[in-house]
Amino acid sequence: MKVGVVVFPGSNCDRDAIHAARLAGAQAEPLWHEDPDLHGADAVILPGGFAYGDYLRAGALARFSPIMGSVREHAERGGLVLGICNGFQVLAEAGLVPGALLRNASLRFEHRWVRLTVTRRDTAFTSAIPPDVTLLMPVAHGEGCYTSPDDKLDALEARGGVLFRYVGPEGNPNGSARDVAGVLSERENVCGLMPHPERASERLLGSDDGLLLLRSLVTSAGQRLAAA
């Protein structure tokens, strides 16, 4: 099972994502943004960071990188794509997941540990997460306030597209509508979330809850591979 981690100019969690994907049992390699070839990746991760400095709008410039065409095709073929933090912003700008990410309500960069509820376990990104478990992970972003018109939010919720929500006393760090922390594409093969599962993949670092998410991804991609 091969995970490709896209490196945009300004990505800064690419190495973390590769490290954590390997802990989750995948073969993981970087993919250079100017090379449209996915080099046989079964799943693609768009990592966190500040692609193109997050100038203009987070994710706005990165979505035109040559590799994004291939990522889109991969997604259209049903391939799995996970966007973390800046990767989520790129996915949203590219229209691969619904919604937009505005500046945090506090207008400040927020780093803190948050708790997430997982609304469903029947997805490629959550299948390995035990029931009733909330996930402890850090967030670190300045533009993570999830926004979408109310009717679209209703529709998103109705189809089970809100996969992660901020809960507990740590609260909603950015003012996201309806506490949305992560969403699923309509076909449920593309997921974007603001918190960082790859930074919560070892007990030593404070939590290994994120590994559950990455293991789900790796397992699901492996199963799809076997089925194909």
111 near other proteins, rule: CB under 8 A: yes
Phi-psi region of 64 (alpha: psi -120 to 50; beta: other; left: phi over 0): alpha
Q: Can you list the alpha helix ranges (DSSP code H) found in the chain? A: 14-23, 66-76, 86-93, 150-158, 209-227
CB of 194 to other proteins, least distance (A): 13
Q: What does each C-alpha distance from 198 to 27, 174, 176, 189, 208 come to in angstroms?
A: 15, 20, 21, 19, 9
User: Which window, 74-82, 120-128, 179-187, 198-206, contacts other proteins (CB under 8 A)?
Assistant: 198-206
Binding-site size, other proteins (CB under 8 A): 53
The CA distance from 83 to 71, in Å, is 11
How many angstroms separate the CA atoms of 144 and 87, rounded? 11
105 makes contact with other proteins (CB under 8 A) = yes
Between residue 160 and residue 189, which ones bind other proteins under the rule CB under 8 A? 175
Is the Cα dihedral 29, 52, 12, 218 positive or negative? Answer: negative
The catalytic residue among 33, 74, 141, 196 is 196
Cα–Cα nearest to 185, from 71, 40, 42, 64: 71
Q: Which entry of 85, 93, 143, 188 is annotated as an active-site residue?
A: 85
Q: How far is the CB of 100 from other proteins (least distance, A)?
A: 5
Considering beta carbons, is residue 70 or 148 the nearer one to other proteins?
Answer: 148
User: Per rule CB under 8 A, is residue 65 in the interface with other proteins?
Assistant: yes
- The 8-class DSSP code of residue 228 comes to -
Q: CB-wise, 112 or 223, nearer to other proteins?
A: 112
Give CA–CA dist 2/25, Å, rounded.
10
Q: Is 39 an interacting residue with respect to other proteins (CB under 8 A)?
A: no
Q: Active-site residue 196, yes or no?
A: yes
Query: Of 117-125, 143-151, 160-168, 211-219, which part binds other proteins (CB under 8 A)?
Result: 143-151
Binding mask 199-228 for other proteins (x = CB under 8 A): x-xx-xxx----------------------
φ/ψ of 51, rounded to 5, equals -55, 130
Binding of other proteins at residue 143 (CB under 8 A)? no
- The Cα 138–Cα 14 span in angstroms is 16
List residues with catalytic annotation. Answer: 85, 196, 198
Summarize as ranges the residues that interact with other proteins (CB under 8 A). Answer: 9-10, 12-13, 15-16, 19-20, 34, 48-50, 52-57, 60-61, 64-66, 93, 99-100, 102-112, 138, 140, 142, 145, 147-149, 175, 196, 198-199, 201-202, 204-206
